[in-house]
Amino acid sequence: MLEVKNVSKSYRSNTVLTDVSFHLEQGECLGLIGESGSGKSTIAKLILALDRSDSGQIIVNNVDFSQLKGRELRKARRHVQVVFQDPSASLNPKLPVWKSVIEPLENYPEASPSFLKEVRNEKRKMAEILFEKAGLQSGLLDRYPHQLSGGQRQRVAIARGISLQPNLLIFDEPTSNLDVSIQAQILNLLKDLKSEINMSYLFISHDIATVQYISERIAVLKEGRLVDLFKTKDLFSADRHPYTKELIDAALE
């Protein structure tokens, strides 16, 4: 459902991505790991069409995003959503959180997620269903972002991220700011949602353990090049790229 083909990107003289290729199957989670500055977020930005690659293609459901403009791009964008490390990025501090959760549904009136079919014109009901899916109690609907814990805020961002029933949900370090026990709860929630709603995930993290837990395959980025790509069960296999082994050793330390 996603194909990244020979993508390169530079900012002025700084080469950030070089000839990156990978694909993602429907319903699959691909983990993307690499050190800070290796280009992980840039890949996310390009897939979200927030920026353009210098060369290569990004194909979502057989549509080449790099060729789309204007209305066509806007229409295609609803199939790809994102959850960032900092949920504040997608939550308006001046709105009760239930309104932020249904905002994408207001922006795309043509979207009709299967789990909201019965209530598509009832804003509050849609928010209630999305809250329930994200494991949030309905008593929190009218809170403002600053009145929630970090874990609750991230659940709100997840509720918003799934609201349009996207084909692809990109996570950029979604649990890095959370305590370990909350991280585990959020990862379990994401696993459940993926099979329930049949979405594909691109899960960006610098933490191998997190990526190992949630992903079926793992891609390794080093200085803007994809150096390794393998099934998660082969993480400790002898033929891993030396750089992957370095990352594993560093994590074990």
Ligand X SMILES: Nc1ncnc2c1ncn2[C@@H]1O[C@H](COP(=O)(O)OP(=O)(O)OP(=O)(O)O)[C@@H](O)[C@H]1O
Strands (E) located in 142-247? 168-172, 200-204, 217-222, 225-231
Nearer to ligand X, 34 or 87 (CB): 34
Q: Minimal CA–CA distance to 175: which of 90, 86, 43, 253? A: 86
Nearer to ligand X, 35 or 128 (CB): 35
**Which residues of the shown chain bind ligand X in the complex (CB under 6 A)?**
11, 14, 16, 34, 36-42, 206
Nearer to ligand X, 13 or 195 (CB): 13
Q: How far is the CB of 195 from ligand X (least distance, A)?
A: 27
Q: How far is the CB of 131 from ligand X (least distance, A)?
A: 29
Bridge-based pairing of strands 225-231 and 217-222 is antiparallel
Q: How far is the CB of 251 from ligand X (least distance, A)?
A: 15
Q: Residue 214: is it exposed, middle or buried by C-beta count within 10 angstroms (0-12/13-18/19+)?
A: buried
Strands (E) located in the chain? 2-11, 14-24, 29-33, 55-60, 63-64, 80-84, 168-172, 200-204, 217-222, 225-231
Number of other CB atoms surrounding residue 238 within 10 Å = 6
Nearer to ligand X, 86 or 103 (CB): 86
Nearer to ligand X, 30 or 97 (CB): 30
Q: Minimal CA–CA distance to 31: which of 233, 242, 237? A: 233
Q: How far is the CB of 10 from ligand X (least distance, A)?
A: 9
Q: How far is the CB of 220 from ligand X (least distance, A)?
A: 12
